Each structure stands twice: as structure tokens, then as C-alpha cells.
Structure 1
């Protein structure tokens, strides 16, 4: 669990457990075992604080334009992580679901949609897309439906009862700018802000859509964001009605006002789509998972919006970036955290033209100049990042995958795996699914640090690595024992390329003894071997 999160009513942050180290692990293991055996969690965990967050669109005075996030006990969230890990082992979610699934992200869903649209545009054929919006999806899930869907998915009855207990007698208060309401019961929907809720929602959507997916195969889901595609308007209208019926008969609600229709490569007279006799709004562009897709398959508007988002992010932190008293290292960290993600979000799915790439590079150059930071001090300035990102994307397209012989060699030793570029990439994806990717990233960062000869760069890199991987406040903190931390603290007095040597060896041993055996026995590795064997035979 990441550090720096808002605490729940018990005011115990996750950093407390991180600082306690092995003592916390032993205590929490004992506590969680008691909760599992008794199927009853502490009463304090049932309380939460609901904070309404404006969605930055629509009328600020309309409650429908706010999302309620619950601040819950961090200790309960750790318990939820344990339950989630066990549920994921027994529940299989359909491939059409991209939300909160291992090795899948918004980028994958956006990329899949863009590729599909481009193929139909290049083939001069129509593609009809309906973007379905569910009203207050998390808040509307009937809890009886949740228990039913969990049982149907093969979840053991004991874990169904454990999850039921999480929702029994749950109480919350609403906190806003003018104060706090009295406590009241919550008897419907999932907890927004819960660590377990996203996967529970995925289970519900998987079961509710099981039948309709067979009749409507061209469908993608990211949690409650649904895209229905078809080659004909009549077919997409029919599929939309199937989805509406399947969802609304089980307590969900399709929004008539926010569901929209778009036709790619439209010919004259393609018409409109109707939902229960009501015309669905037809658009020429749609903001899908934060990225704008256009009916003509172009990406010019998305690039312009990324540029605008980059400047908006810049303005928010310009007071820091333009302050001469603030060090270049701090400016670089703020820039990488606020400006760059806003500017580059989703661009790996876009085929940039030279003019568009130049536009992004120009913005990056202007921002670096205005901040008066040398490019190297900003921690990879924008123009360098874009150029390298595009090169990496092109390399990924052109690079051949690993051979069967290479993949089989990974089983010989962890050293064979870690020395192979393809091996590291596959191992990293596996670690990401286990929420331990930071171990490999730290080890790789240590390898790069050893190659650096410039003392100034070494000192800056060491400080950055400490903040990124060693500090208890870091969201990517690696698991180090007290001795390794003591050695690092001493080495930080005189930073060098060997500052993290002992910590690196400890993380290497941890991956070798723990993560590596699990990877070799995982379905990820077995499926990769099977696919390469099939390719070789064909």
C-alpha cells in the first residue's frame, strides 16, 4: 500500500506499520487470522468519512457532478488486500475487462480502440461505437447481487461471509467545507475508496454481462465504462438494448443523457441509434478514459488537449518551477510529478506526425527555459523524454519477441532471467501483478548508478533513489531490513555509486528466493512457453 494517503477515522496511517517492520507483520498476521477465523472484523473498521470530490465538469452545484470517496481505516485496507489476493486466485474475469486487472491499464483499452478504428478507416468501412455510461455504478450495486455473483464466480462461502461482514453495520459521515454531518448507515453499493471494491465490481460486471457478451463479442469494459462496437448501426443498437436489459434488471442504471454514439468512416444516411425509443446523442469525438478519440480516426484534437493539459499543469506549479531559490532537483521532481504525466497521458497510443511531435517538443523546451533549469537537472526534460519515448515505442514495435530457447533458459537460474532484456520485461510485468515491481526497478536503478562517473550526477541520483525507494514516505518503498537501512544512512553522508550495494544484494536475494520461483510456476510463464511452442510448430 502506498504511503501518503489520507487516513480514516482511526487516524492510523499505513506508515506506522511500515516503520514497525517485522513486528508489524507478525501482529497483522495474527490479527488477520483472528478476523478470518471469526468472520468478524473490529467495529472501528466499519466507520468511514465520505468526502465529495468535484469531477471538474458540469454544474458545481449539482450533486451528480461529484464523486464520493470514503476515507477508511488503513489497517482494514491491508486486510482487504489480503482478501483480494485470495479472491483473484479463484476468480477468472473475462478478457474484455481492462479495469483493475493485472498487466492491463487504461492505455491498453485506449490503444485497442484506436487500432480498431484505424483498421476500419483504412479499409473504408463503417464502425459503429456506443459508449455506455452507468449512473452511480458503484453506489447502485445491490449487495444481494454482489453475494450472488461472488458465489457464481466460485468464491468459497467463507470468503463470501467475510466480505459480507465488511459491509454489515457500515456507517459514515460526510465531510465538506462547512463541516461534518451526523453519522448514518450505508446499506447499498460498494465503498468507493476501498482496496477491495474495484475487484468486487469487476466480479459483478463479469457475471451480469456473461450472457450478453456471447451475443455482443465486440465489447470492451474498463470497470463501468463500456464500449460496444459493431459493423452496422442496427446491430450496435440491438446490442445496446441487450446490455441495457442485462444491467437494469439486476439493479444497475444506464444513463440516457451520458451514453453517446459515434460512427467511424460514416457514409451518408447512416442514421442514429435509439435506446428504448429515445435517440442516443451522436458525437464526432468522445473522451474515452481521458483520451479523445475522433470519428475520422485522427488524433489532432488529442494532441492539442495534451498540450493544454501540460500548460495547465505548468501554471499550477509555476510558482515552484520559476523560483530561483528552489533547487533544480526539487523543480525536476515537481515537473515529473505534475506536468509531464498530464502532457504525455495516452500519447503512447497515438501515431504522432512530425508537426505534432515538434509542437510537444517546443512546449517542453519553453517550459524548461522558463523554469531556468538545465535539462539534466530536471531529471530528463520533456523534449528528451518524448524523443526517447517515441524511440522506445518504435523499438517495441520492431523488436522481435524472445525465442523459445531463450525463454526456456530463464528456468536455469535467476541470473539467466535477469540478464535477458525480454526476461526482465516479462518478469517486471509479473511483479507488477503482485504489486512488487519496485524491487526490480530498484535493482535496475542500482545497476545504472554503478555506470555513472560524474560525481555531481551520482550525488543527485543517490538522493533521488533514496526518496523513490528507501524513504518510508515513498509509494515505491522496497523491503529492506534494519541493517541495510543503517548502512545506507551511513553511506548517504558521502554518496557514491556503491551507496546501495548491500541493499541491492538484499533485494536481489529476495527476488531470487521469493519472486523468481513463483514466476517460474506461474501461468504467465507457462502461457509464454506454450505460445512459443505453438508458433515453432506452425
Structure 2
């Protein structure tokens, strides 16, 4: 709770800096979830809520909210017929983000258990006064990123986790849009990407719309961020001008 989008980007860059300073090799797995809201299994959400301690009444309320919605198709601008759905969460529903995060917490728990069992390594970074913290993954809404050592076994176990998660939740990782980014000179990187089934990326990249793994003094990597901000400012300016004209008239 209360996490900001900048926090995840800063932590991801801290992991990369730690690997580079120690001269270690690592892998960054950027995972894209396919049709995130549309494929969530309702029964899966009910089981997750039960494990989290939600009572029967709460679960019944949530089930009523997600299962009684009806949809219609526009034909020539007119709604024709109504039909129900058997899975998925509605875009724009204020409950949907919270329910989706509950589902993603299962993926987080699977990765944590894999790290505790020594199946996925993560990255240890200094926290001050000799203390270290192991960063294995970051989840922000439907954006997921996993940090592993450059080992084929890590990739194999991660692929198993993703298969288990898909079978339980209905949420599928779009491997065509996912990528593995090597940090340092990683041998057999192509074999590792085949193990997971995605493509090879490279640094610098982007994460949550912000630069990832870019040199500190590389100004050009911020061009995309600057362009998006200029576009948003121009849009806000047009909106305020139009409102001012309405008030003046």
C-alpha cells in the first residue's frame, strides 16, 4: 500500500547498479501479462480471499459484484442483447484493481517460496551497516519484473512458476512481449531465453515508463519521458484554455 511508481523504478535500478559494482552477472525478466483483467478466474479469487482471511459474507458480496454484471454488443450504435461473463474483471470498476492485486499476490508468494527454497536467487543489495536485503521481484499492478542469477536452473524454475500461476489464476504471461535482459557478459543467454520462451532484451531499457539501467549522465534516455510530459502539458493547456473560453463567454 502507498507505493509510488517511482519506488519500483528506483529499486530496479539499484539492483542493476549492485550487480555492476560487484562485477556479478544477472538476469532481469520483464514479464507482460496478457489481457490482465479479462482472464482472471473468479473461483481463484474466492480461494485467495479465503486464504487472506475474508469472511463468508465478504466473499459473497464480492462474488455478487463480479458475477452479476451483464454486457451488451453495440450494432449500428444500438445495444443488442445482454450476456453474462464467466471470468475476468471489469475495466473501470473501482473494485477491480484491488481484486487483481490480490491475485498477483499469489505470484509474489510463489516467487518468495522459490527464493526461500534456493530455486531462484534474486539479488542481495547493501542496506547499510552490513545489512543486506534480497530483491527477487517487483510487482506494480500488471507489470512484473524478476531478478535472477545468470543460471539456467533459475530460468527453468521460473517457467514452472509461471505455468502453475497460469493454471491456478487464468493469468497468462505473454512471452512474445516479455524479455530477458542480461546484466554483464552472460553466456548461454539464448539458451536461457529458450528455456523461458521469450526474447532477449538489452540495457538501457524502460520500466514503468522510466529509464532502466541507463548511465547516470546519459541525458538522451530521458527524451521519451520528456516527450510524454510535453504532450500531457499541451493537453492540459488546451483543456484549461477551452474551460476559460467557456467561462468568459
What TM-score results when the alignment is normalised by the length of structure 2? 0.76
Find the counterpart in structure 1 of residue 3 from structure 2: 104
Are the aligned partners of 1:261 and 1:281 in contact in 2 as well (CA < 8 Å)?
Answer: yes
CA distance in 2, matches of 1:114, 1:282: 19
Candidates 250, 261, 270, aligned match of 2:180: 261
Deviations 1:495-537 (A, max 9, x none): xxxxxxxxxxxxxxxxxxxxxxxxxxxxxxxxxxxxxxxxxxx
Taking a change above 3 Å as real, the CA distance of residues 228 and 180 of structure 1, as seen in their structure-2 partners, is: farther
The structure carrying a bigger strand percent of its residues is 2
Q: Secondary structure at the match of 2:138?
A: strand
After superposition, the CA RMSD in angstroms is: 2.9
Find the counterpart in structure 2 of residue 238 from structure 1: 156
Taking a change above 3 Å as real, the CA distance of residues 315 and 295 of structure 1, as seen in their structure-2 partners, is: closer
Find the counterpart in structure 2 of residue 307 from structure 1: 226
Q: Which has the larger radius of gyration?
A: 1
Are the aligned partners of 1:240 and 1:275 in contact in 2 as well (CA < 8 Å)?
Answer: no
Find the counterpart in structure 2 of residue 221 from structure 1: 139
The structural deviation recorded for 1:116 is 1.3
Find the counterpart in structure 2 of residue 132 from structure 1: 31
The structural deviation recorded for 1:172 is 2.4
Q: Secondary structure at the match of 1:187?
A: coil
CA distance in 2, matches of 1:319, 1:167: 38
The structural deviation recorded for 1:291 is 1.2
Unaligned ranges ≥5, structure 1:
1-100, 328-538
Taking a change above 3 Å as real, the CA distance of residues 259 and 297 of structure 1, as seen in their structure-2 partners, is: farther
Q: How does 1:190-209 map to 2 (within 5 A)?
A: 190-209=89-108
What TM-score results when the alignment is normalised by the length of structure 1? 0.37
Find the counterpart in structure 2 of residue 274 from structure 1: 193
Are the aligned partners of 2:178 and 2:199 in contact in 1 as well (CA < 8 Å)?
Answer: yes
Query: What is the number of equivalent residue pairs in this alignment?
Result: 220
Q: Secondary structure at the match of 2:172?
A: coil
Taking a change above 3 Å as real, the CA distance of residues 105 and 236 of structure 1, as seen in their structure-2 partners, is: farther
The structural deviation recorded for 1:208 is 4.7
The structural deviation recorded for 1:164 is 0.8
Candidates 194, 199, 208, aligned match of 1:289: 208
Taking a change above 3 Å as real, the CA distance of residues 220 and 275 of structure 1, as seen in their structure-2 partners, is: farther
Find the counterpart in structure 2 of residue 249 from structure 1: 167
Deviations 1:268-312 (A, max 9, x none): 63523335573x211224331111313667753432222222333
Return 234-243 or 185-194, whichever deviates more: 234-243
